[in-house]
């Protein structure tokens, strides 16, 4: 890509460093910003700079937070004895959206992945084990994605907890409501069978 302006080239280059943004998309976004009022670009830069400078991670659950303790951990109505182990903030948001969970979270910051060079020491696993060792946690719910990395991470944590009294569970991998059983992938289907719940419990009165 030939640029008539070094400033334009730099902006496009920086934008194209983002995931899923190729050079063409980057150019489109940069040209869009140039067409918009200057204040819009200023607000964007300000928000990004503030994000990097002021963001912190909750000292208890490691979720992205504005304070030392996040809103969930500092809410007295939440049950700190039930801890849901997730990969990142997107999972916290997804589970919070269901409105079904009143416990705490523990955000690992990723999954163990030898291919991507992510080991247990890169994640907040030691902090999780330390938290369980305090005796304040009754149950850990593993809610990592159903992938090889997710399963490896669950198993690694599970092994670390040997000898510590804590109940562990994993979320049931259900068949999406309305989907035909035959369209479910075998892992989903298999886990749904293994994690079956009593039929009466599955009945919903509408
Ligand atoms: Zn927290």
Residue 151, pLDDT score: 86
Residue 205, pLDDT score: 47
Residue 178, pLDDT score: 66
pLDDT above 70: residue 197: no
Residue 174 Cα to ligand 1 middle (Å) = 27
Residue 153 Cα to ligand 1 middle (Å) = 21
Residue 68 and residue 28 share a domain: no
Percent of the chain with pLDDT over 70: 89
Residue 78, pLDDT score: 97
Residue 188 Cα to ligand 1 middle (Å) = 30
Residue 47 Cα to ligand 1 middle (Å) = 22
Exposed e or buried b for every residue in 76-112, given b needs 16+ CB within 10 A? eebebebbbbbbebebbeebeeeeebebbbbbbbbbb
Residue 58 Cα to ligand 1 middle (Å) = 5
pLDDT tens digits, 47-105: 999 999 988 999 999 999 989 999 999 999 999 999 999 999 998 998 888 888 899 99
pLDDT above 50: residue 113: yes
Q: In a 10 Å sphere around its CB, with 0-12 CB exposed, 13-18 middle and 19+ buried, how is residue 21 labelled?
A: middle
Residue 29 covered by a domain: yes
Residue 87 and residue 23 share a domain: no
Write down the residue that tokens 């700190």 correspond to. Answer: 80
Domain of 33: which CATH number? Answer: 1.10.8.420
Residue 128 covered by a domain: yes
Give the chain's end-to-end CA distance (angstroms, integer).
59
Q: How confident is the model at residue 203 (pLDDT cuts 50, 70, 90)?
A: low
Residue 77 Cα to ligand 1 middle (Å) = 13
Q: Answer whether 30's CB lies under 8 Å from 56's CB.
A: no
- Cα–Cα distance measured from residue 142 to residue 37, given in angstroms and rounded to the nearest whole number: 47
- Quote the pTM value: 0.75
Q: Mean of the pLDDT values across residues 18-22?
A: 94
Residue 47 and residue 128 share a domain: no
Q: In a 10 Å sphere around its CB, with 0-12 CB exposed, 13-18 middle and 19+ buried, how is residue 123 labelled?
A: buried
Residue 66 Cα to ligand 1 middle (Å) = 10
Residue 160 and residue 118 share a domain: yes
Residue 133 and residue 69 share a domain: yes
Residue 81 Cα to ligand 1 middle (Å) = 13
- Cα–Cα distance measured from residue 8 to residue 61, given in angstroms and rounded to the nearest whole number: 41
Q: Mean of the pLDDT values across residues 183-204?
A: 67
Domain of 149: which CATH number? Answer: 3.40.1360.10
Residue 70 and residue 166 share a domain: yes
Number of domains in the chain: 2
Residue 88 and residue 152 share a domain: yes
- Cα–Cα distance measured from residue 22 to residue 27, given in angstroms and rounded to the nearest whole number: 9
Residue 148, pLDDT score: 86
Q: How many CB atoms lie within 10 A of CB 131?
A: 19
SS3 for 116?
coil
- Cα–Cα distance measured from residue 114 to residue 149, given in angstroms and rounded to the nearest whole number: 9
Range of the domain at 19: 6-54
- What does the CA dihedral 31, 37, 38, 39 come to, rounded to 10 degrees? -130
């Amino acid at each position: 890509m030939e640029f008539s302006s070094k400033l334009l080239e730099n902006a496009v280059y920086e934008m194209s460093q983002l995931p899923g943004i190729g050079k063409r998309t980057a150019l489109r976004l940069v040209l869009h910003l140039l067409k918009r009022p200057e204040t819009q670009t200023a607000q964007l830069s300000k928000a990004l700079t503030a994000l990097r400078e002021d963001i912190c991670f909750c000292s208890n659950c490691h979720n992205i937070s504005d304070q030392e303790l996040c809103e969930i951990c500092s809410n007295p109505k939440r049950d700190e004895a039930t801890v849901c182990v997730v990969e990142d903030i997107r999972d916290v948001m997804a589970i919070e959206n269901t409105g079904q969970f009143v416990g705490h979270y523990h955000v690992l910051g990723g999954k163990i992945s030898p291919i991507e060079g992510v080991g247990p020491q890169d994640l907040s696993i030691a902090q999780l084990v330390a938290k369980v060792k305090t005796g304040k946690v009754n149950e850990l719910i593993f809610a990592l994605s159903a992938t090889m990395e997710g399963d490896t991470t669950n198993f690694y944590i599970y092994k670390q907890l040997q000898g510590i009294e804590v109940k562990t569970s994993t979320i049931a991998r259900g068949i999406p409501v309305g989907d035909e059983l035959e369209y479910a992938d075998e892992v989903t289907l298999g886990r749904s069978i293994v994690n079956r719940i009593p039929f009466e419990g599955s009945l919903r009165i509408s």
